[in-house]
Chains A and B, each alone.
Chain A
Amino acid sequence: MRVTVKLYALLGQYLPSGATDNQIEIEVAEGATVQEVFARFNVPPKSCHLVLVNGMYVEPSRRPQYALQNNDTLAAWPPIAGG
């Protein structure tokens, strides 16, 4: 299945070449979890402060089990703020 991965701010450094606008579409196995996708890009789990799937927050404790669906969008940020 295909998912879109978006890594922003300092996490952008973990995106492979070929990514544009801080995002890349990838093929993953059925049932791939949020944590597995981060591992594929060598993103340290502790660096992922804000993690959204289709815009909805996924808390840290759910990330190892949270199975992605086909066409899901996974987005992550390190600790950030603004105003």
Chain B
Amino acid sequence: MAWARNVLRVNLTKGTCKNEPLNMEWAHKYLGQRGLATKYLVEETDPKVDPLSPNNKMIMATGPLTGTCASTAGRYSVVTKGALTGAIACSNSGGFFGNEMKNAGYDMIIFEGKAKSPVYLYIENEKAELLDAGAFWGKSVWDTEEGIKAKHQDPLIRVASIGVAGEKGVKYAAVVNDMDRAAGRSGVGTVMGSKNLKAVAIRGTLGVPVRDFKRFMKVTADAKKVLADNAVTGQGLPKFGTQVLMNVINEVGALPTRNHRDIQFEGAKNISAEAMAEPRKGDGKPNLVTNAACFGCTIGCGRVSTVERSHYTVVDRPQYQVASGGLEYEAAWALGAATGVDDLNALTFANFICNEQGFDPISFGATVGAAMELFETGVITTKETGGIELKFGSAKALTDLAELTGKGEGFGAEIGLGSKRLCEKYGKPELSMSVKGQEFPAYDSRGIQGMGLTYATSNRGACHLRSYTVSSEILGVPVKTDPHVTEGKAELVKAFQDATSVVDSSGLCVFTTFGWTLEDIAPQIDAACEGGWTVEKLLEVGERVWNLERKYNLAAGFSKKDDTLPARILKDAAKTGPAKGMVNGLKDMLPKYYEVRGWTSEGVPTNQTLERLGV
């Protein structure tokens, strides 16, 4: 139980939808969601496939706990070969779509092939059909979601869709569900667009049976109390959201600023959680309207915000004079510090556009930052930018480019390439702050050493959510470690990577781990699913998932040379703050990491490791 034991296979080329049983042997080895979908992708596709070819597959996958009453149990992931990176991609989203998918009776939906013309998948409790999406093609995520609900005369349908960015091939297009929750990274929405698949709309009311109902109710209630009593998950995150980190990371000197040229941002205070709560000078209202929670979540870290109605971005544009998905820390950093812009209204507006047209604000903001450096160093001029004065700190340039990128128009089409392709195009590859083609998130690894190893070894390219050592190195959860030393970080990164792989495969949100350990999670999975789920067994699953992803990337053509960081991070010392004079010590951490992983000195899992894990 807890698994629906049912997979929907959608062949877009043939226009068919077929149910098939879930491979339970794999479910017991890979749990669900990230791990299980990766296993299916590995078994069914060639790792060297062009991500935008019909031969690439895209899998939407829930975890066994998705749709249950466990706290935060509404997650789903989109797994495919990433359009931005060419590596394994797994983007995780909250909201309500994952719950609806599971309650419609599906663990997983596998999309293969390519539709001849735009379609959307409509599901109502195990009945699925492909419908013409011609009326929605060219529409935004927001209009598509509203349009599908109106067409079916059912406001309770949950929709995941792509915006125009996904249609136009923006390399970091997202799959957005419930208007502002996104499987955002690595270009999973680009893959969806390449298949002429506009949306997935689901109504599910079947329920999710669990193995031992009485025990499940007891352990999930106990675990919710742990979250409620924890100061982070019970108070800090609901009140301030992830944005509370803006001043923290600036203070410790690890806030990448102006394309990582600086490590502290003088405007951080203007775009922080505290600033979002302050009444604005113009209208006396704060940017933050309220917090918000995804399905089943007892934390509620989400932000709902407005742009001041007199701000240039929204004057005479009522569709943006609304309360909508507000800034999370990563988006605020990328749209703000990475570009040197500290206009909170402009950042909020740009974030609205990212949600509306479906593209990743991290890669977008970071790419704008790289383009600003190209502009300020004279590599590109207004001739290339279409007249945009692309200077660091220009809010107008940022918001203009958000709108152009969302539509794939003008210089926005080039920003839509991502920083790696953009900087290579103009002969300055070293200005792309990325790993495996994916842009860094909001932590400079000169000031937080473990994050350098995290980025270099992340299977989906630079990412904070693969091993969030910031939790230990800065926030002291579960134990405080020194952010400026490299010793012990190989073991720390491996531990975070394996544990996060488990959470990402379960249907739960990784933010629970600020309050929970696997000791809290294992009983919930065990009460829901047969299989004897202990902490030890879960950690083995996590390590297995990590090695499977690594094996896929190696087969796709990645190697040790890709486990690295840009020269700026390895050679240019931080200019200010506590990390002044430091570079990232990756060379001291990587060999040890390979060793603790049971990999060769070339970063290849040994046969012994693969046999031990049954990969």
A residues in contact (CB < 8 Å) with B:
6, 8-10, 12, 21-22, 49-50, 52, 54-57, 59, 73, 75, 77-83
Contacts and interface: CB of A to CB of B under 8 A. Distances in A.
A83 B521 CA distance: 20
Given A55-B251, A75-B251, A82 B245 contact: yes
Given A9-B244, A55-B251, A80 B578 contact: no
B273 A83 contact: no
B241 interface: yes
B239 interface: yes
DSSP class of A's interface residues: helix, strand, loop or mixed?
Answer: loop
Interface of B: 230-233, 235-237, 239-245, 247-248, 251-253, 269, 273-274, 328-330, 464-465, 468, 470-471, 474-477, 480, 482, 510-511, 514, 577-578
Contacts of B251: 6, 52, 55, 73, 75
A59 B477 CA distance: 13
Given A22-B269, A59-B480, A81-B514, A12 B236 contact: no
A56 B252 CA distance: 7
7 contacts: A9-B273, A52-B251, A54-B578, A79-B231, A80-B232, A81-B511, A82-B243
A82 B475 CA distance: 9
A21 B278 CA distance: 10
A8 B247 contact: yes
Contacts of B240: 9, 80
Given A9-B239, A55-B577, A81 B477 contact: yes
Contacts of A49: 231, 476
> Which of B231, B274, B511 is most buried by chain A, counting CB atoms within 10 A of its CB?
B231
B248 A10 contact: no
A23 B117 CA distance: 58
A83 B511 contact: yes
Contacts of A54: 578
B511 A80 contact: no
A14 B47 CA distance: 56
Given A50-B476, A80-B475, A83-B468, A9 B252 contact: no
Contact of B329 (A10, A21, A57, A82): A82
A59 B231 CA distance: 18
B239 A83 contact: no
Nearest to A54: B578
A8 B241 contact: no
A67 B85 CA distance: 49
B475 A50 contact: yes
Contacts of A79: 230-232, 235-236
Contacts of A81: 232-233, 236-237, 242, 244-245, 471, 475, 477, 511, 514
Nearest to B234: A79
List 4 tightest A-B contacts by C-beta distance, closest first: A82-B242, A79-B231, A55-B578, A82-B245
A80 B465 contact: no
Contacts of B269: 21-22
Nearest to A53: B578
B231 A78 contact: yes
Given A12-B274, A79-B232, A82-B241, 8 more contacts: A21-B269, A22-B269, A54-B578, A55-B251, A55-B253, A81-B514, A83-B245, A83-B470
A55 B475 CA distance: 13
A52 B468 CA distance: 20
Nearest to A22: B274
B480 A57 contact: yes
A49 B230 CA distance: 13
Nearest to B474: A50
A80 B274 contact: no
Given A12-B274, A83-B468, A77 B244 contact: yes
B236 A78 contact: yes
Contacts of A9: 236, 239-240, 244, 273-274
A79 to B, nearest CB: 4
Contacts of A82: 237, 241-245, 328-329
Contacts of B232: 79-81
Contact of A22 (B231, B247, B253, B468): B247
B253 to A, nearest CB: 5
